[in-house]
Amino acid sequence: MKGLLKNKWFKFSLAAFTYLLMMLWIGNFWLLLGFPILFDVYISKKVHWAFWKKRGVKKQSFVVEWIDALIFAVVAATLIRMFFIEAYTIPTSSMEKSMLVGDYLFVSKMAYGPKVPNTPLSFPFAHHTMPGTTSTKSYSELIEWPYHRLAGFGDVERNDVVVFNFPAGDTIRVGFENPDYHSQVRSLSNDFKKDDMMKGRLLQSDRAYKKIASKYMRQRFDIRSRPVDKRENYIKRCVGIPGDTLLSIDAQMYVNGKPQGSIENMQFNYNVKTNGTSINPRKLEEFNIAKDDRHRISTTEYVLPLTTADVEELKKLHNVISVTRLLDPQGMYGDVFPFSKDYNWNRDNFGPFVLPKKGVTVELTKKNLPLYDRVISAYEGNKLEVEDDGIYINDQLATSYTFKMDYYWMMGDNRHMSADSRYWGYVPEDHIVGKASFVWLSLDKDKSFLSKIRWNRFFMGIE
């Protein structure tokens, strides 16, 4: 048996079989070109692939062995991160209390099937920017692969906690990425429109103002585009899957006409009034309310993010007079998707609408186009223009459109402190990265030394 393990033909056969399985999983037969390399590495040995080693020397120096181990570790870790599991951290409070700022978690890419990278040429362990820089790209677009997802364990389901690439991150203003570029363009276009109104000028269409704002931004700032796999990673809960009908009434989500299933730690913002005395900070710590999220607006009022259980406990405090949920009323327009005055929606009241589903055809009108314009143009790569006589897709007059991908609706459990699908729309299937699996470390940024560690969250599963 020992001799068999050292046999070069056995080692080649084992490596070739493993490589063949990987090739079939990836589904790219160009990888067949790798077999001659494997044959040379194990059998013919004509090319000195491990150039950092001296050929024919059995005992390598310490430095060479260290380099050999480092290269192996980088390659192995890169493959694991790319195809199996990757570590992420929670930087904002958008998912509290389900997940806390400072949670470090592992995300399974096998849950939905790993994506083949769009930009395979990139610096190891860097996302989109080189370490130590603010604008130097960590990847090359010399080689760009189309979207392809390998086989996984299942599909995205409602209430899954999902990591995905930020859909509105396709275009960025370097050095000023929050709010996103598209939000900045909308804000600037509204300013231009208000200026024309004040000066009595002839008003243009909203699309015309957005083109003017976009041109203005590109003339004055460093505006760049990013491929899908190099956009920021976001984590939210999947509220709707392709084909679902969604509706929100006073922050109560309805999916296909039924109330959304209960989420234990979901939060909303509440107005808390006291008798004039302060709420004990230790009590707020017990509620896991971060210092950045404690807003005292007067001597008698706070605005705090609270779960239903927190509300009941807070009401028991002797100095608390009232606890009232804050809601945007129906009929009040908010700057939310689809960003059209034809849809008088806000963060708490929106819909109904149907999530786009692959293969489904919808009728297109100028009124419902805001629901689909980024799907058609940004996500599915079509040329979209609106003229007086109708909607043109790839220079052809269009009265309908058939979706090429599935789309999801993602929302944070901290409903009033989450930048989610309400503010940028659908999440395309090619943006899905993986499913959050478990927390392996949790650090409280408001505390110091060992007290920072939240021991009770170690290896906690994510639901």
Nearest CA to 246 among 362, 369, 353?
A: 353
- The residue among 4 and 79 whose pLDDT is bigger is 79
pLDDT band at 30 (very low <50, low <70, confident <90, very high): low
Which tokens sit at 299?
């001597």
Does some domain include residue 161?
A: no
Nearest CA to 141 among 126, 124, 125, 128?
A: 128
Q: What is the mean pLDDT of residues 56-64?
A: 69
Residue 320: which CATH number? Answer: 3.30.70
pLDDT at 57 (0 to 100): 64
Task: Kindly tell me the sign of the dihedral angle through the C-alpha atoms of 421, 423, 425, 429.
Answer: negative
- Residue 37 pLDDT > 90, yes or no? no
Q: What is the mean pLDDT of residues 254-272?
A: 92
- Can you give the pTM of this predicted structure? 0.89
Total domains present in the chain: 2
- The residue among 254 and 8 whose pLDDT is bigger is 254
pLDDT at 3 (0 to 100): 65
Buried b (16+ CB within 10 A) or exposed e, 145-158: eeeeebeeeeebeb
pLDDT at 159 (0 to 100): 95
Q: Going by C-beta distance under 8 Å and a sequence separation of 6 or more, which residues neighbour residue 51?
A: none
Does some domain include residue 414?
A: no
Does some domain include residue 19?
A: no
pLDDT in tens, 120-149: 899 988 899 999 898 899 999 999 999 999
Nearest CA to 227 among 125, 89, 91, 379?
A: 379
End-to-end, the C-alpha distance of the chain in Å comes to 47
Distance CA 426, CA 409 (A): 5
Examine the fold and report which residue of 185, 206, 221 is the final residue of a domain before the chain moves on: 221
pLDDT in tens, 308-331: 999 999 999 999 999 999 999 998
pLDDT in tens, 346-361: 999 999 999 999 999 9
Nearest CA to 263 among 238, 286, 288?
A: 238
Which tokens sit at 394?
């790839």
Task: Kindly tell me the sign of the dihedral angle through the C-alpha atoms of 94, 97, 100, 105.
Answer: negative
Does some domain include residue 410?
A: no
pLDDT band at 66 (very low <50, low <70, confident <90, very high): confident
Does some domain include residue 9?
A: no
pLDDT at 56 (0 to 100): 65
Q: What is the mean pLDDT of residues 361-378?
A: 96
β-partners of residue 443 are 453
Does some domain include residue 283?
A: yes
- The residue among 93 and 232 whose pLDDT is bigger is 232
pLDDT at 301 (0 to 100): 94
Burial zone of 137 (CB within 10 Å; 0-12 exposed, 13-18 middle, 19+ buried): middle
**Residue 243 — left, alpha, or beta (φ > 0 → left; ψ -120 to 50 → alpha)?**
left
Range of the domain at 197: 176-221
Q: How far is CA 102 from the centre of its chain?
A: 17
Examine the fold and report which residue of 325, 345, 372 is the final residue of a domain before the chain moves on: 325
Does some domain include residue 183?
A: yes
- Residue 81 pLDDT > 80, yes or no? yes
DSSP-derived secondary structure letter, 22: H
Does some domain include residue 212?
A: yes
Write down the H helix ranges in 46-180: 62-83
pLDDT in tens, 188-219: 999 999 999 999 999 998 889 999 999 999 99
pLDDT band at 14 (very low <50, low <70, confident <90, very high): confident
